[in-house]
């Protein structure tokens, strides 16, 4: 920085302070000392580290008088703003794309958004002080569960933070973490935030090139990696890593030179004094970036969603209130990827807000071992994704199909009793005494046993996110006495959004529910609306859950966050007269036909999958064409280790085929059968399913499906058709099957 700028800063500092004191409205000076923030104290102290931090005195004001360069110098001046970690730095906007720039926090005068901002450090230290011996993290690697208490959790996060600083982590630089869910992932993430760095998770399935992009984009100076395979992946691009200073491997014995073990890393941190960490904590602000959630990159390189400490702690605490979580009385199983906002928010920040106990599933959880962990833990809450629910449904129906007549009859009556109960709840009808007794009988004799076998006997909250859940799937789990709530949110809203939940009185078939109480959501008019519903528009968010911006991407930030604070989701939707919200699809996925009609593909795809349950994926095509067609895949077996789809069909699909005189057990066999019998029973059955959609669900003739094809393999992450969050990569599929799609549109059309 030039001497002229420094001189100018010295001149304006007194003016800035007087202006702030004169024009700002200080936030309450209370310091919450318990989990719900009901009492106050003048300071907080960590006995483990001897770090004394003064309480925040009125912060959170807006100053627009300085340029960015001068303002940044003030923010980094340790003598000007050194009341962290709970301070709010003066901000010039509610959005940014630079990791060093603070943003305005959208605090309201009343309601959930009026609560005082709090840092990650304060949140964890408060819980550790109140419940030092409460089990925080549990992991089973050798046949026995090893417990880490909240006091130990805090101590290890502090040790990690001091190690990061000594290893050369600068403020606002990244720590890239790659590996399966584990205590080390949690501690590296939080330790990085304590040290003033920026945590950035990477999928284990990411290519080396994608990992390189994330590491460079986040300016990662430290890599924290699970095993030797992850180390080798990053070392393969080491010549292009311009910021990395150290690598830590948390399992196994490193073979690469200079790689630290986890134990060496923590011991190194414990040997350091508290001085530098104390300074880093004082310099922190709740309205600066502390974590990055990288998007799945369905339309380009992954974008870094910038999250502030206020984003994370406020959403975590509000969700804990929404679900009425009880302190020290909740258990969760951590298995969803932590570099995705859903897993990170639930497992780290919601759990932290109520001193919950987090059990870590094994690394092969999604390959079959998750059910064993669930049975052993019986968690009180379970966050999942539709694909996992579908796999449970498929396995249960397969087992039931092989059961005896008596068992099938008992199951059929039990499911009917549970379905009747939840339909009554949905429609506000009270069960008769006979219906109630009927339900209680089957609950005790059948349904409770099923829930125990699934590991969900204690689950008070079952939530599915990441992708839409079909109505049929929700109804199936209701029939098992397992009401699943369907959540709609996104990384950019920090998992804050709508909830379709029977327990909260916000359930309606086909909808994505109502906004949760602490969400601010609206529908704005959109030029990309399909035109099928006059109420349809783009779903928008506003408030303290809205992300800060996309790192190093001014254009996308400005496209997504408007100057008035509203964030455009890119999702089309509408609300009915009862304020239930419905999602039409992604604006960028809208198909524009040759006739200029805007078509939202997702409702069509969901409807066809309901008519043809043997199909795992349905993708509408027809952009710039005269009519719509669909590509479909059959449900197949998977390779446990990789998740790749096999040619072998699921047993339920084989049974379905047999009813239409097709004895095939593989996708190849089905395609051969269709080629040999183009007018056979199977082709007619599939066409009848498509026709049912056309007759009963298509909004107009232009929404009808004229042609269909069964693809040779199912969509997977491994083969590139799905993103790491299981979102369909439409452009990839369209390019890969371009010749097939072209063949569906002869020249005469």
In a domain, 748, yes or no: no
Its sign, for the CA torsion 93, 98, 102, 103, is: positive
Beta sheet of 615-621, edge-to-edge order: 615-621, 628-634, 705-710
Integer Cα distance of 178 and 724 in angstroms: 14
pLDDT confidence of 77, banded at 50, 70, 90? low
Q: Which of 61-70, 680-689, 694-703 has the highest mean pLDDT?
A: 680-689
Claim to verify: residue 311 and residue 388 sit in the same structural domain: no
Instruction: Report whether 724 contacts 201 (CB < 8 A).
Output: no
Claim to verify: residue 161 and residue 303 sit in the same structural domain: yes
Claim to verify: residue 90 and residue 158 sit in the same structural domain: yes
What pLDDT is attached to residue 355?
98
Q: Which of 443, 494, 466 is nearest to 385 (CA)?
A: 466
Q: List the domain range (segments joined by +) for residue 735.
A: 597-743
pLDDT in tens, 338-385: 999 999 999 999 999 999 999 999 998 887 899 999 999 999 999 998
Q: What is the CATH number of the domain that holds 241?
A: 3.40.50.12780
pLDDT in tens, 178-212: 999 999 999 999 999 999 999 999 999 888 999 99
In a domain, 502, yes or no: no
How confident is the model over 225-243, as a mean pLDDT? 96
How confident is the model over 487-514, as a mean pLDDT? 91
What pLDDT is attached to residue 471?
85
The answer on pLDDT for 630 being more than 70 is yes
207 versus 147: which is more confidently predicted? 147
pLDDT confidence of 527, banded at 50, 70, 90? confident
The answer on pLDDT for 525 being more than 70 is yes
Q: Which of 568, 492, 579, 574 is nearest to 530 (CA)?
A: 574
Taking residue 131's Cβ as centre, other Cβ atoms within 10 Å add up to 18
How confident is the model over 68-90, as a mean pLDDT? 72
pLDDT confidence of 69, banded at 50, 70, 90? low
- By DSSP bridging, strand 514-515 and strand 498-500 are antiparallel
Integer Cα distance of 537 and 651 in angstroms: 42
Q: What is the CATH number of the domain that holds 690?
A: 3.30.300.30
Q: Which of 529, 556, 589 is the last residue of a domain?
A: 589
In a domain, 376, yes or no: no
* 179 class by beta-carbon count within 10 Å (0-12 exposed, 13-18 middle, 19+ buried): buried
Q: Is the pTM of this model over 0.85?
A: no
pLDDT in tens, 439-458: 999 999 999 999 999 999 99
DSSP class per residue in 272-286: S-SHHHHHHHHH-BT
The answer on pLDDT for 673 being more than 50 is yes
Residue 657 CB contacts under 8 Å (≥ 6 apart), including other chains: 614, 649, 663, 664, 670, 682
What pLDDT is attached to residue 72?
56
Claim to verify: residue 198 and residue 279 sit in the same structural domain: yes
The answer on pLDDT for 8 being more than 60 is no
How confident is the model over 665-671, as a mean pLDDT? 96
Claim to verify: residue 436 and residue 519 sit in the same structural domain: no
How confident is the model over 2-20, as a mean pLDDT? 34
The answer on pLDDT for 627 being more than 80 is yes
Claim to verify: residue 707 and residue 614 sit in the same structural domain: yes
The answer on pLDDT for 601 being more than 50 is yes
The answer on pLDDT for 699 being more than 90 is no
How confident is the model over 609-619, as a mean pLDDT? 94
Q: Phi, psi at residue 647, to the nearest 5°?
A: -75, -20
Claim to verify: residue 50 and residue 83 sit in the same structural domain: yes
The answer on pLDDT for 716 being more than 50 is yes
717 versus 131: which is more confidently predicted? 131
Give, rounded to a whole angstrom, the gap between the first and last alpha carbons of the chain.
Answer: 65
Claim to verify: residue 408 and residue 340 sit in the same structural domain: no
Rounded to the nearest angstrom, the gap between the alpha carbon of residue 409 and the centroid of all alpha carbons in its chain is 39
Integer Cα distance of 95 and 557 in angstroms: 8
Q: Which of 589, 623, 638 is the last residue of a domain?
A: 589
Instruction: Report whether 717 contacts 205 (CB < 8 A).
Output: yes
How confident is the model over 612-637, as a mean pLDDT? 94
pLDDT confidence of 74, banded at 50, 70, 90? low
Claim to verify: residue 614 and residue 530 sit in the same structural domain: no
The answer on pLDDT for 718 being more than 70 is yes
In a domain, 322, yes or no: yes
Q: Where are the beta strands (DSSP E) in 168-313?
A: 174-178, 198-202, 220-225, 246-249, 260-261, 289-294, 304-308
The answer on pLDDT for 607 being more than 70 is yes
In a domain, 536, yes or no: yes
Claim to verify: residue 428 and residue 516 sit in the same structural domain: no
In a domain, 499, yes or no: no
pLDDT confidence of 18, banded at 50, 70, 90? very low
What pLDDT is attached to residue 76?
61
Task: Give the chain's domain count.
Answer: 4
Q: Which of 331, 332, 327 is nearest to 343 (CA)?
A: 332
pLDDT confidence of 531, banded at 50, 70, 90? low
What pLDDT is attached to residue 9?
34
Q: Which of 351, 371, 391 is the last residue of a domain?
A: 371
What pLDDT is attached to residue 490?
93
The answer on pLDDT for 432 being more than 60 is yes
How confident is the model over 273-296, as a mean pLDDT? 95
386 versus 323: which is more confidently predicted? 323
Claim to verify: residue 601 and residue 585 sit in the same structural domain: no
DSSP state of 582: E
Q: Phi, psi at residue 496, to the nearest 5°?
A: -90, 130
Claim to verify: residue 657 and residue 676 sit in the same structural domain: yes
Q: What is the CATH number of the domain that holds 575?
A: 2.30.38.10
- How does the average pLDDT of the chain come out, rounded? 87
What pLDDT is attached to residue 439?
96
In a domain, 506, yes or no: no
In a domain, 501, yes or no: no
What does the buried/exposed string (b/e) look like for 504-540 if buried means 16 or more CB atoms within 10 Å of the residue's CB? bebbeeebbbbbbebbbbebeebebbbebbeebbbbb
| C-alpha dist (Å) from residue 571 to 551, 583, 615, 616 | 22, 7, 25, 23
pLDDT confidence of 593, banded at 50, 70, 90? confident
């Amino acid at each position: 920085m030039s001497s002229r700028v420094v001189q100018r800063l010295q001149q304006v500092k007194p003016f800035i302070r007087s202006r702030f004191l004169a024009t700002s409205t200080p936030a309450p000076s209370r310091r919450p000392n318990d989990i719900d923030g009901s009492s106050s104290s003048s300071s907080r102290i960590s006995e483990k580290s001897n770090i004394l931090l003064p309480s925040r005195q009125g912060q959170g004001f807006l100053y627009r008088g300085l340029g960015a360069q001068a303002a940044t110098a003030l923010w980094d001046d340790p003598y000007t703003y050194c009341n962290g970690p709970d301070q709010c730095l003066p901000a010039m906007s509610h959005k940014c794309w630079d990791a060093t720039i603070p943003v305005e926090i959208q605090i309201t005068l009343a309601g959930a958004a009026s609560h005082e901002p709090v840092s990650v450090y304060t949140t964890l230290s408060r819980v550790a002080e109140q419940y030092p011996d409460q089990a925080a993290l549990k992991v089973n690697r050798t046949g026995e569960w090893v417990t880490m208490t909240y006091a130990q959790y805090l101590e290890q996060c502090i040790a990690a933070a001091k190690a990061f600083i000594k290893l050369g982590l600068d403020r606002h630089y990244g720590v890239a973490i790659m590996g399966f869910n584990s205590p080390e992932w949690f501690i590296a993430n939080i330790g990085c935030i304590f040290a003033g760095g920026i945590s950035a998770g990477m999928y284990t399935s990411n290519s080396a090139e994608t990992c390189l992009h994330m590491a460079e984009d986040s300016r990662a100076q430290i890599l924290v990696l699970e095993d030797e395979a992850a180390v080798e992946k990053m070392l393969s691009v080491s010549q292009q890593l311009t910021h990395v200073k150290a690598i830590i491997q948390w399992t196994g014995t490193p073979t690469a030179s200079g790689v630290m073990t986890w134990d060496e890393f923590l011991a190194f941190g414990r040997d350091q004094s508290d001085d530098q960490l104390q300074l880093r904590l004082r310099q922190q602000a709740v309205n600066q970036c502390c974590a990055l959630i990288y998007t799945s990159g369905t339309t380009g390189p992954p974008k870094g969603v910038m999250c502030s400490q206020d984003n994370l702690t406020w959403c975590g605490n509000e969700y804990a209130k929404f679900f009425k979580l009880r302190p020290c009385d909740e258990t969760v199983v951590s298995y969803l990827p932590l570099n995705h906002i859903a897993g990170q928010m639930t497992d780290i920040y919601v759990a932290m807000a109520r001193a919950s106990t987090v059990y870590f599933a094994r690394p092969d959880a999604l390959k079959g071992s998750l059910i064993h962990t669930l049975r052993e833990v019986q968690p009180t809450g379970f966050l999942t994704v539709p694909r996992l629910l579908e796999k449970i449904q498929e396995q249960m129906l397969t087992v039931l199909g092989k059961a005896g007549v008596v068992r099938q009859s008992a199951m059929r009556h039990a499911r009917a009793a549970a379905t009747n109960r939840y339909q009554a709840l949905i429609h506000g009808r009270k069960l008769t005494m006979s219906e109630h007794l009927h339900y209680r009988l089957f609950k005790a004799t059948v349904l409770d046993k099923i829930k125990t076998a699934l590991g969900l006997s204690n689950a008070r909250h079952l939530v599915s996110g990441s992708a839409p859940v079909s109505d049929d799937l929700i109804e199936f789990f209701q029939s098992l006495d397992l009401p699943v709530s369907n959540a709609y949110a996104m990384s950019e809203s920090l998992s804050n959004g709508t909830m379709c939940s029977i327990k909260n009185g916000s359930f309606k078939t086909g909808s994505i529910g109502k906004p949760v109480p602490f969400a601010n959501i609206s529908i704005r008019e959109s030029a990309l609306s399909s035109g099928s519903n006059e109420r349809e528009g783009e779903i928008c968010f506003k408030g303290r859950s809205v992300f800060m911006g996309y790192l190093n991407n001014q254009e996308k930030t400005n496209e997504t966050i408007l100057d008035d604070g509203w964030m455009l989701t890119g999702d089309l939707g509408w609300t009915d007269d009862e304020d239930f919200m419905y999602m039409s699809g992604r604006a960028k996925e809208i198909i524009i036909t040759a006739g200029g009609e805007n078509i939202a593909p997702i409702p069509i795809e969901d409807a066809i999958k309901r008519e043809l349950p043997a199909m795992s994926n349905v993708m509408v095509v027809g952009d710039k064409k005269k009519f719509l067609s669909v590509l479909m895949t059959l449900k197949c077996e998977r390779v446990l280790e990789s998740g790749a789809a096999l040619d072998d069909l699921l047993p339920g699909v084989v049974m379905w085929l047999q009813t239409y005189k097709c004895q095939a057990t593989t996708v190849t066999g089905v395609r051969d059968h269709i080629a040999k019998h183009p007018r056979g029973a199977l082709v007619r059955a599939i066409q009848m399913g498509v026709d049912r959609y056309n007759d009963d669900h298509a909004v107009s003739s232009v929404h009808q499906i004229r042609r269909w094809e069964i693809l040779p393999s199912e969509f997977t992450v491994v083969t590139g058709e799905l993103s790491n969050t299981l979102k369909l990569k439409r452009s990839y599929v369209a390019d890969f099957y371009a010749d097939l799609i072209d063949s569906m549109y002869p020249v005469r059309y």
